[in-house]
Every structure is written in C-alpha cells, then in structure tokens.
Amino acid sequence: MERPRRVAWVYRTPDTSTFRYRAANMVAALNADPECDIGAAWFSESELDALERVIDRLDAIVLVRYPFCAPLARLVDRAEQAGVPMVFDTDDLVFDPALAPLIMDALDQDLENYDQWSYWYAYLGQLRATMERCVGAITTVDPLRHQLEKQLGQSRVGVVPNFLDRRQQDYSRALMDAKRASGFRRDKSVTIGYFSGTRTHAKDFAVIAPVLHRLLRDDSSVRLRVVGRLDVLGDLAGLPVDQIEVVGFMDYVPLQRAIADVEVNLAPLQQHAFTACKSELKYFEAAAVGSWTVASPSPAFAGSIANGKTGRLAKAHEWDEALREAVELARDADSFAQRAEEAAADVHDRYAWDAQSNVISGALDVALQSGEASR
C-alpha cells in the first residue's frame, strides 16, 4: 500500500493452474521489483469482505476468470460506487456462451449429457457477465486478445504471457545445471513425455496417438511417460507394458523434475479456435529444464519456438518425421546439448518471474485506458 498505485488480483479459489499463472505470479513479479510503482496483492472469495474494507485505496481490481455470483456482485457494486475500475483476466477462450459446443467437444465432454450442457452454458455466461462489468482485459496470447477485443468492442486488451514462478525457475535452473554437469548423459533408451494435467486433453493426445504407436512399435528403445489424469492405454494397445509409464497428477514444482527426465516433450493440439488461444507454457516449462519440445504449430508455439533450433513445430502430417528426428537428436549428445542450452537460455530470459513487472504494468495501462478517462 506504500507504492503510488495499488492493484488487487481476485481469483475465486486458489489452485495450481490459472491462479498460479494469472494471479499469484503477477503479484509476486510486481512486488519483487523495487522500481515498480504498483503494489499488488491477491484475494480469494473468502477474503472479499476484507478487500471491500480497503477498496477506496485501490487503483484497480483484476478479476481473474471469476464466474459472476453473489459475492463477486457485491464486490463489483462496491468497486463501481468507489470509482475503482475493474479488469478481466482470462487464459482461455471461455467468455462467449455461443462457443459452448466447440469447447465441450474440444475438451472431450459427453455431448449427450444434459448436465454438461447446463454447466458449460452457465459457466461461460457467468464469465461473460464478469467481463461486461470490466473496463478492459488482460490475457495470455494475441489470438485471445483479438477475441476479447471483438467482445469488448474496443482495443483495450493487454497481453501478459504466462511465465515461470520463482520456485519453479530456481528448481529448473538446478535441474539444467545437473544435466550440464553430466554432459547430458543418458542411458540407451530415449524417453518421450506427455504431460496432460487433466482428462480434458484426451483429444489433443489423440492427434499423436497413432504416431506414438508406430514409433514405439518400430523402436523398442523408445519409452513413453504420461503424467496426469489421462488414460492412454487404449490408444496404445498391444505395445509392451515396459515401454509405457503412466504417472499420476503431481505438483507443479516436482513436475519440472519429471519433465527434465524425458528427452522429448510432446505438445500436440487440435486445430480450431479454442486451441488457437492456448499459451506456450508446455514449451517453456520443458525448455527450462533442457528437454526438446515437439509441438503443433499453434500461434503461441509458432511465436515462441525457433523451429529446429529451440524446438520443433509439427503439422498434422509431420508428426512421424518430427518424432523420429527428435529421437535421433536425443541420441546425439552434443547436438542435443547445443539445442537444449539455446532453448533454456531463451526461456530463462523471456519467461523469467522477475522480468515481467514492466509487461504487467504496461498491460494494465492498456486495459485501464477507458476506465481512467471515465473516472
């Protein structure tokens, strides 16, 4: 509260995904920069009463993917009475109810289940209601910015890419140092990793399942590790069980170790409007620990990966070739180390937790332009 500007980030219930990237990381990056003029804090739904007590001293509130509901409505009304502008933050294309069928299909939801339709239309409608009470928005990638600008009707959307947090980055540096000290030593096998998080990535995995089946069938020294809540065994039926390892969901910091233990990281995506708005975090989390990423050429991946130098972009018909190239690269320690070092240097620079304060404050300025003019 001692800095010239004071901004509160609000997220309903803290978790290890959206909350971490879009609220906790933002607050930490701003507060760690002694030259930054913004003092920041985050609040959850259980703390909204406390936030209301200091609302008169705030310069802005950022509502992070928060579905409109009674507690939020009270906060929004109080903020409007106090003349405090609000900014909407989202990391997904989840603010237009008209897209509910596309999103449900992309996330492999049961389209015959009436409750799923009720949930998704309600959720998207609630997020849209939140967005409509805000003067501007912040998001992760340009395609999502364009979508928000269409909905808001004005160019008042700032972009702050997802980035590493301090613990995640420090641990990633240590893991990279260990690889460097060993000369990127590995055993005779090559391990390919898919880090799914949730079952909603089933259709993304399906993009490469036949390719993986062919690769593992033809090369017994290649292993597959899947981490997260995703059942892949049906897609890979008939392969030797010792070629496939399935690991349950894990916390994001230990996850960096699991990613570091694979040579090749997979980031396949379906091709449509929803996945076009996904961020590049699967690339930078892997590159930070010296693992090579093969990814679909979505806008975010195409904009962050130097194809062939810091990772590999693969169109739908290129996955067989790209994965076989990646396996051969992993077997060439010198070439692999050179590319891993270049990718790690790239992401530890661009996605560092302590190099984002100017990006965040600039995005806030963009989002608040109309709000500042009206106060």
pLDDT in tens, 240-299: 989 999 888 889 999 999 999 999 999 999 999 999 999 999 999 999 999 999 999 999
Query: Residue with structure tokens 């995640």?
Result: 168
Q: How many CB atoms lie within 10 A of CB 317?
A: 7
Query: In the structure encoding, which two tokens stand for residue 51, read together?
Result: 């936030």
Report how far residue 226's alpha carbon sits from residue 228's, in angstroms, rounded to the nearest whole number.
Answer: 7
Distance CA 15, CA 83 (A): 30
Strands (E), 209-283: 222-228, 244-247, 264-267
Nearest alpha carbon to residue 136 among 374, 333, 368, 308: 368
CA-CA-CA-CA dihedral for 237, 241, 243, 246, to nearest 10: 90
CATH class, 166-350 region: alpha beta
Q: How far apart are CA 151 and CA 130, in angstroms?
A: 12
The strand order across the sheet containing 222-228 reads 244-247, 222-228, 190-197, 264-267, 292-295, 312-313
How far is 67 from 35, CA to CA, in rounded Å? Answer: 34
For 355, the token pair is 């190099």
CA distance 371 to 375: 6
Q: According to the model, what pLDDT value does residue 199 have?
A: 73
> 375 pLDDT band (50/70/90 cuts)?
very low
pLDDT of residue 44: 98
CB atoms within 10 A of CB 146: 15
**Region 5-160+356-374: CATH code:** 3.40.50.2300
Is 5-160+356-374's fold the same as 166-350's?
Answer: yes
What pLDDT shows up at residue 274? Answer: 96
Residues 6+ apart with CB under 8 A from 27: 9, 40, 41, 42
Average pLDDT rounded to a whole number, residues 10-23: 95
Give the chain's radius of gyration (CA, Å): 22
More confident residue, 195 or 234: 195
CA distances for 51 relative to 44, 57, 66, 250, angstroms? 9, 10, 15, 32
The contacts of residue 181 (CB under 8 Å, 6+ apart) are none
With left for phi above 0 and alpha for psi between -120 and 50, is residue 129 left, alpha or beta?
alpha
Whether 197 has a pLDDT exceeding 80, the answer reads no
Domain extent listing, the chain: 5-160+356-374, 166-350
Q: Calculate helix-pair angle for 319-331, 333-350, nearest 10 degrees.
A: 110
- Say if CB 333 and CB 185 are below 8 A apart: yes
* Average pLDDT value for residue range 145-153: 93
Catalogue the E-assigned strands of the chain.
Answer: 5-10, 38-43, 60-64, 86-90, 136-139, 157-159, 190-197, 222-228, 244-247, 264-267, 292-295, 312-313
**pLDDT tens column, 308-345:** 999 999 999 999 999 999 999 999 999 999 999 999 99
Per-residue pLDDT reduced to its tens digit, 108-131:
999 999 999 999 999 999 999 999
Q: Count how many residues are written for the chain.
A: 375
Q: Which of 156-160, 175-179, 222-226, 227-231 has the lowest mean pLDDT?
A: 227-231
pLDDT in tens, 172-186: 999 999 999 999 888
C-beta separation of 117 from 100 below 8 A: yes
